[in-house]
Amino acid sequence: MYDLHLHSSYSDGDQSISELVAALAAAEVRGISVTDHNGLWGDAEAAAAAAEHDLEYIAGIEISARAHGADLHILGYSHAWQAQVLAAGLQDTRSGYERRAKRMIELCTEVGYALTIDDLTAARSHQQQPVYMAYDVGRMLTRKHGLAVAEARKLTSHGGSCHVSYGEWALTPQAAVDLIHDAGGIAVFAHPGTVSYEEGDDTLNTILAELVAATVDGVEVYHPFHDSITTAHLQQYAQQHELVVTGGSDWHGPGRYHEGSLGKIGLPDEDWVRVGQRLQARFPQAASTH
Ligand SMILES: [Zn+2]
Ligand SMILES: [Zn+2]
């Protein structure tokens, strides 16, 4: 299978690119995309590591967006990203994440777990990576205040007392899809099941319709959060709206959420082929570089 949803230490994953790709090769995955949040920092390293392990590779990203009170993610895939276009389009997102992290720190401090932005900066795996994520806050709760990983995650994720939703800074679904297209990629609605879980089916259906109108290319069907009913529903939706189907483990490292999904949840060969065809159809002039 192919795993088109993976996180490294360039965003909120725990493993370096080389550790991550070695784990995927050991799990006998055939092709991969490292989809770190709101940046392409690991692309060159991931492409090289994939080649070393004889895995197929497509460069990916996971972009944050917000609509109708829901935080959501849009995946992008390309064989030839225009990295500067992406970085320029994500500037507000990155600064928004920093303000959000500072607000989360205030909330943590209010409930008795004092943290500073310097704590987060010092703990970074890669100093050039400018996005402070909720996970960075959670990790400091475990390191500085001795909270269990699950407890820290609960406090910093949806519904938790230190959690902050994305703000006005987040892209709309339309803007996220446009940015991905402008930068040479195809756009895929990530784990739609989390939107219905957090905000309800009506919100999900509204966002799905908006994304289809925004010419989204695909929907992530295979994901550890999706039960069999959600998977079947999304499969049918993709077929009705002529969307490509993608999937992956959304792996963040051993001991993190979606534990056990590596090498178990991913995309069958025929859907991987359709991803390539969709890219070819949208960017017929672009040569495949990997
Ligand atoms: Zn996501
Ligand atoms: Zn993800």
Ligand nearest to the CA of 61: 2
User: How far does the centroid of ligand 2 lie from the alpha carbon of residue 251, in Å?
Assistant: 7
Residues within 5 Å of ion ligand 1, judged at the Cβ atom: 73, 190
Phi-psi region of 105 (alpha: psi -120 to 50; beta: other; left: phi over 0): alpha
Which residues pair with residue 245 across a beta bridge? 219
Q: Is residue 147 part of a domain?
A: no
Residues within 5 Å of ion ligand 2, judged at the Cβ atom: 62, 250
Ligand nearest to the CA of 8: 2
Return d(Cα 190, Cα 192) in angstroms, integer: 6
User: How far does the centroid of ligand 1 lie from the alpha carbon of residue 209, in Å?
Assistant: 19
Q: Is residue 145 part of a domain?
A: no
Return d(Cα 163, Cα 138) in angstroms, integer: 10
User: How far does the centroid of ligand 1 lie from the alpha carbon of residue 272, in Å?
Assistant: 20
Asked if residue 201 lies in contact with residue 207, where contact means CB atoms within 8 angstroms, the answer is no
Q: Is residue 151 part of a domain?
A: no
User: How far does the centroid of ligand 1 lie from the alpha carbon of residue 285, in Å?
Assistant: 30
Q: Is residue 225 part of a domain?
A: yes
Ligand nearest to the CA of 194: 1
User: How far does the centroid of ligand 1 lie from the alpha carbon of residue 290, in Å?
Assistant: 25
Q: Is residue 172 part of a domain?
A: no
CA–chain centroid gap for 271, Å, is 19
Ligand nearest to the CA of 11: 2
Domain count, the chain: 1
Q: Is residue 239 part of a domain?
A: yes
Q: Which domain holds residue 40?
A: 2-83+184-282
3-class state of residue 261 by DSSP: coil
What's the pLDDT at 287?
Answer: 56
What's the pLDDT at 260?
Answer: 82
Asked if residue 78 lies in contact with residue 185, where contact means CB atoms within 8 angstroms, the answer is yes
> DSSP states of 96-145 as a string?
HHHHHHHHHHHHHHHTT----HHHHHHT-S-TT-----HHHHHHHHHHHH
**Which tens digit of pLDDT belongs to each residue from 162-203?**
999 999 999 999 999 999 999 999 999 999 999 999 999 999
User: How far does the centroid of ligand 2 lie from the alpha carbon of residue 116, in Å?
Assistant: 26
User: How far does the centroid of ligand 1 lie from the alpha carbon of residue 35, in Å?
Assistant: 9
Q: Is residue 99 part of a domain?
A: no
Ligand nearest to the CA of 157: 1
Ligand nearest to the CA of 261: 2
Asked if residue 119 lies in contact with residue 176, where contact means CB atoms within 8 angstroms, the answer is no
10-residue averages of pLDDT along the chain (290 residues): 96 94 97 97 97 98 97 97 97 95 96 94 79 91 94 94 96 98 98 96 97 98 96 98 98 84 94 97 73
Residue 207's nearest CA partner among 251, 235, 161, 176 is 176
Exposed (0-12), middle (13-18) or buried (19+): which is 249, by Cβ within 10 Å? buried
Q: Is residue 164 part of a domain?
A: no
What's the pLDDT at 288?
Answer: 52
User: How far does the centroid of ligand 1 lie from the alpha carbon of residue 23, in Å?
Assistant: 20
| Other C-beta atoms lying within 10 Å of the C-beta of residue 75 | 27
Ligand nearest to the CA of 256: 2
Q: For residue 234, what are the CA distances in angstroms to 12, 110, 243?
A: 26, 41, 10
The CATH number for 18's domain is 3.20.20.140
What's the pLDDT at 244?
Answer: 98
User: How far does the centroid of ligand 1 lie from the alpha carbon of residue 135, in Å?
Assistant: 12
